[in-house]
């Protein structure tokens, strides 16, 4: 599938690494640099060889689209070695913090507050290509709490697990689902048939085949009962007791009391035992049902506008000083009222006041001016992530464009609501209608000075 290969920039590492070595030499890349980024390795005899051999290569991207590493899949299942191999961890690439496919799926995940999690890179890319562009995969065998936190930062409330239809896939669904349930995320498990994976499903039946299974996804608790039932004979009281104890222990490890309470009640129904036998009513309710722990990522609800505005602030805070053209672009086009999230508006105002007033705008100075825990949490979230400096101009322009569009559309909507409210006089309605028409005829335009960035895309 040439379109698939070109879209996701998929490559191939030949069995012999001489071609790779020659090409890197032509590019001027030294062996020291190549070893540092994990593309070659030194053998015991001191010789050097390419890290990947006879494998399909997938670039690993950060959320902004910058390449931070590579993942390689073996060509045939019979070949020796693990199915997937990643470049070694580097200062840029941390397996436990990197979600494969997030650069393609981030916007839609933030908008719809849900995600599809798969095991392999090909599964993720195939689903993204076929329109399920809210799909991600972990790196390596382990899906970690840090991966979950990355998705919580995007405000997800629901996740679908599309693991391979084998024993290992079901084990992965059991473990990964528990990580999300602990954070209060609603988990559903897609029933992938035995011996299949999302990639083969799409090849054989196309998007409708996967969409049909998506509709049949079962909630995590029902999946757990079914999964553990295969290891226990439920006609035996002792084995049924073991199954219930196993699941109860897992449920009690979740951090949200209301979810624990309702899940225990559902477990009683699924296993057909009285509620009190699974501990309903005996949960520790030491804190309010609806209050999440201090500083937890789950207590922050993030919508697409918040994602957009935090992206803009990240560009501003991390590159605003070293790139005068980017700062000028932001200063020329954006004002505090263009920020719909109050905390983002406050941080933007703080930076601009300091910058235009000749005061310091380094991160430490900004941090010292933060007043509330919410501001501190968001500021930390903004500055802890890297920015892709290679696409800084494109990224800032695209973000400013979208923010102006959102503001323009919201202003029009406010006028429409006011006109339709019936609370305005005829003169006021006429004036509002004129303002509405004026806005409609004047869509926002990004102002770019001649010495600044060339326009990337039209606003209309």
The winner for highest mean pLDDT among 212-226, 316-330, 407-421 is: 212-226
The topology (CATH level 3) of 97-219 is Dna Topoisomerase Vi A Subunit; Chain: A, domain 2 (3.40.1360)
Mean pLDDT value of segment 52-72: 87
Residues of the chain with CATH 1.10.860.10: 304-441
Closest CA to 21 of 45, 58, 47, 46: 47
Q: How far apart are CA 449 and CA 411, in angstroms?
A: 26
Which listed CATH number (3.30.70.1060, 1.10.860.10, 2.40.30.20, 1.10.1740.10) goes with 304-441? 1.10.860.10
Cα radius of gyration (the chain): 26
| 3-state SS assignment for residue 401 | helix
Q: How far apart are CA 134 and CA 154, in angstroms?
A: 12
Q: How far apart are CA 65 and CA 388, in angstroms?
A: 7
Q: What pLDDT is recorded for position 75?
A: 84
Q: Which residue matches tokens 């990004």?
A: 446
Q: Which residue matches tokens 């960035």?
A: 453
Lowest mean pLDDT among 118-122, 288-292, 438-442: 288-292
Residues of the chain with CATH 3.40.1360.10: 97-219
Q: What pLDDT is recorded for position 185?
A: 93
Confidence of residue 287 (pLDDT cuts 50, 70, 90): very low
| 3-state SS assignment for residue 187 | strand
Q: How far apart are CA 38 and CA 88, in angstroms?
A: 5
Mean pLDDT value of segment 246-250: 90
DSSP letter for each residue of 265-307: HHHHHHHT--GGGGTTT-S---S-TT-PPTT-GGG----HHHH
Mean pLDDT value of segment 256-274: 87
The winner for highest mean pLDDT among 220-234, 353-367, 413-427, 445-459 is: 220-234
Q: How far apart are CA 52 and CA 70, in angstroms?
A: 9
Could you tell me what percent of the chain has a pLDDT over 90? Answer: 30
CB contact at 8 A, 157 and 114 = yes
Q: What pLDDT is recorded for position 180?
A: 95
Q: Tens digits of per-residue pLDDT, 127-180?
A: 999 999 999 998 765 788 989 998 998 999 999 999 998 888 999 999 999 999
State yes or no: pLDDT of 454 exceeds 50: no
Residue 58's DSSP bridge partners are 71
Q: Select the more confidently predicted residue: 424 or 286.
A: 424
Q: pTM of the prediction?
A: 0.60
Q: How far apart are CA 457 and CA 398, in angstroms?
A: 8
Report the mean per-residue pLDDT for the chain.
83
Confidence of residue 291 (pLDDT cuts 50, 70, 90): very low
**Domain 2-93 indexed as CATH 3.40.1030.10:** no
Q: What pLDDT is recorded for position 445?
A: 86
State yes or no: pLDDT of 294 exceeds 60: no
């Amino acid at each position: 599938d040439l379109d698939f290969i070109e879209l996701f920039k998929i490559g191939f590492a030949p069995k012999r690494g001489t071609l790779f070595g020659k090409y890197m030499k032509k590019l001027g890349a030294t062996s020291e640099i190549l070893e540092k980024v994990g593309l070659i390795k030194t053998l015991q005899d001191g010789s050097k060889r390419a890290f990947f051999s006879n494998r399909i290569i997938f670039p690993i991207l950060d959320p902004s689209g910058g390449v931070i590493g590579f993942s390689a899949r073996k060509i045939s299942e019979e070949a020796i070695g693990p199915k997937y191999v990643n470049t070694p961890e580097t200062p840029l690439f941390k397996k436990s913090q990197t979600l494969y496919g997030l650069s393609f799926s981030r916007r839609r995940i933030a908008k719809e507050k849900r995600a599809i999690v798969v095991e392999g890179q090909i599964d993720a890319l195939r689903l993204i290509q076929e329109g399920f562009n809210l799909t991600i995969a972990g790196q390596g065998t382990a899906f970690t709490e840090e991966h979950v936190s990355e998705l919580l930062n995007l405000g997800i409330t629901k996740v679908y697990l599309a693991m391979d239809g084998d024993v290992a896939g079901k084990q992965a669904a059991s473990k990964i689902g528990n990580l999300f349930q602990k954070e209060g995320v609603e988990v559903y498990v897609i029933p992938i048939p035995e011996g299949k994976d999302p990639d083969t499903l799409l090849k054989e039946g196309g998007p409708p085949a996967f969409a049909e299974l998506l509709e049949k996804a079962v909630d995590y608790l029902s999946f757990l009962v079914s999964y553990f039932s295969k290891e226990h004979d439920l006609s035996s009281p002792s084995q049924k007791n073991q199954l219930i104890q196993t699941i109860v222990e897992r449920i009690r490890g979740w951090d949200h009391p209301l979810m624990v309470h309702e899940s225990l009640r559902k477990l009683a129904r699924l296993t057909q035992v009285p509620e009190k036998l699974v501990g309903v009513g005996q949960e520790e309710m030491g804190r309010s049902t609806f209050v999440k722990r201090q500083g937890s990522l789950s207590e922050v609800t993030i919508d697409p506008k918040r994602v957009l505005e935090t992206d803009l602030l990240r560009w501003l805070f991390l590159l605003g000083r070293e790139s005068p053209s980017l700062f000028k672009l932001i200063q020329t086009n954006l004002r505090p009222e263009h920020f719909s999230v109050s905390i983002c508006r406050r941080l933007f105002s703080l930076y601009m006041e300091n910058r235009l007033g000749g005061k310091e705008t380094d991160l430490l100075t900004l941090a010292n001016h933060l007043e509330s825990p919410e501001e501190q949490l968001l500021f930390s979230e903004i500055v802890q992530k890297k920015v892709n400096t290679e696409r800084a101009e494109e990224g800032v322009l695209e973000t400013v464009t979208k923010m102006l569009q959102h503001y323009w559309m919201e202003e029009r909507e406010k006028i429409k609501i006011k006109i339709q409210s019936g609370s305005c006089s005829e003169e006021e309605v006429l004036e509002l209608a004129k303002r509405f028409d004026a806005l409609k005829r004047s869509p926002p335009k990004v102002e770019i000075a001649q010495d600044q960035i060339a326009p990337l895309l039209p606003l209309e």
